[in-house]
Structure formats: structure tokens, C-alpha cells
Structure 1
């Protein structure tokens, strides 16, 4: 077993329940962790035997462009797309963490984050 981890993918998006969030947008940071068997890729030096992290980045970028009220929903969509695209690899575990930078709160908060494990 092994893990593929993408840390601190920084993108801009329009997610939130408040009307202003849909107009103004915000910066988001996304982390993805995928646990799967990467032994064949390691032995044979073959990208086709593993999950391509370049594609994972593109997938997150595409999903970030689709507005959601909740970042929980965005995280679930990302997991579903990963599972659908890489079903042949029998992924054991996916963890997605999405943080909204400077959330519209009445206090001093750097970010609010959601972690979804599947």
C-alpha cells in the first residue's frame, strides 16, 4: 500500500450560502490523500499503474469552478469523481480537506475547513 498526497492546492471559487459569497468569491486550499496499492507503479516505473496526480489537480480545478453552497458538497463531488475515474485501482481510502480562506464571520478567523473521509 501507499499514498498519493496533494497538499495545499490553492484555487479561487464561489462557494457559500451567503449571496455575497456567490458574487465576490474566496480563496480555497484543498488537500487530497489517496491510499491505494502503488507497488506495481513503483516496481515498473509506469504511470498507468497508479493515480496520476496531474489529473487529480485538474479534477479539483474543474470541481472548484462549479458553485456550491457547502464545501462539504464540493468535497463529496471530488471524492465521487476520483472513485469513478480510478475505479480500476481499488482505492482503499480517500480523504479530502477543503479550507475557505478568510470566511465571512464576525470574528478573526483565518480559515474554516471541512474534512471528508471516504
Structure 2
């Protein structure tokens, strides 16, 4: 088993419950960690035998571009799509952070973190 991490994917998009958030948008950070068997790719040196991090980045960007009220909804979409489209992934964890959230205080970011395992 091995781990692939894609850290600090920066996205500007329009998530939130407040009307202003969906109109003006804000900055987000996404971190993704996947667990997969990487032994075949380590031997073959072939991209087809691993989980392509270009694919992982694309999934995050695609799903983040769809406005949602809750970060949990976006995280679930990211996880679901990874498991639907990449059979090598055994477990995935995604963290979605809203930078400078409008919560009435000096807060750097709010983060939700969700994990999912492949059902056997």
C-alpha cells in the first residue's frame, strides 16, 4: 500500500450559504490523500499502473467549480467521483478549507475533512 498526496490545491469559487458568498466568491484550499497499491507502478514505471495525480487535481477542480452551500457536499462529490473513476484507490481523505470565512471574526480558514474507503 502507498500514499499519494496532492496538497494545497488553490481554487477561487462560489460556495456558501450567504447570498454574498455565491455572488462574489472566495478562495479555497483542498488537500487530498489517497491510499492505493503502488507496487505495480513502482515495478513497471508506467502511468497506467498508478493513480495519476493530474486526474486527482482535475477531479478537485471540476467538483469545486459546482457551487454548493456546504463544503461537506463538495467533499463528498470529490470522494464519490474518485471512487467511481479510479479503481486503484482503496481509501481517500479530502480536506476542503474556506480561506478567510465570513464568520464575524479574524479566522484564517475553516476546514472540513472527510474520508471514504472502497467497499469490497
* TM-score over 0.5 for the pair: yes
Segments of 4+ moved more than 6 angstroms: none
Q: Figure out how many residues of one structure are paired with residues of the other and give that number.
A: 116
2:66 maps to which residue?
66
* Structure 1 gap segments, 5+ residues each: none
Aligned counterpart, 1:42 = 42
Q: Which residue of 2 aligns with 1:115?
A: 113
Taking the aligned partners of 2:58 and 2:113, their CA distance within structure 1 comes to 20
Please give the per-residue CA displacement for 1:72-101, whole angstroms capped at 9, x wherever unaligned. 0000000000000102x2x22100001000
SS in 2 for 1:103: coil
Q: Which residue of 1 aligns with 2:52?
A: 52
* TM-score, normalised via structure 1 length: 0.96
Normalised by the length of structure 2, the TM-score is 0.94
CA offset at residue 2 of structure 1? 0.1
Structure 2 unmatched ranges of 5 or more:
none
Q: Distance in 1 between matches of 2:85 and 2:115?
A: 18
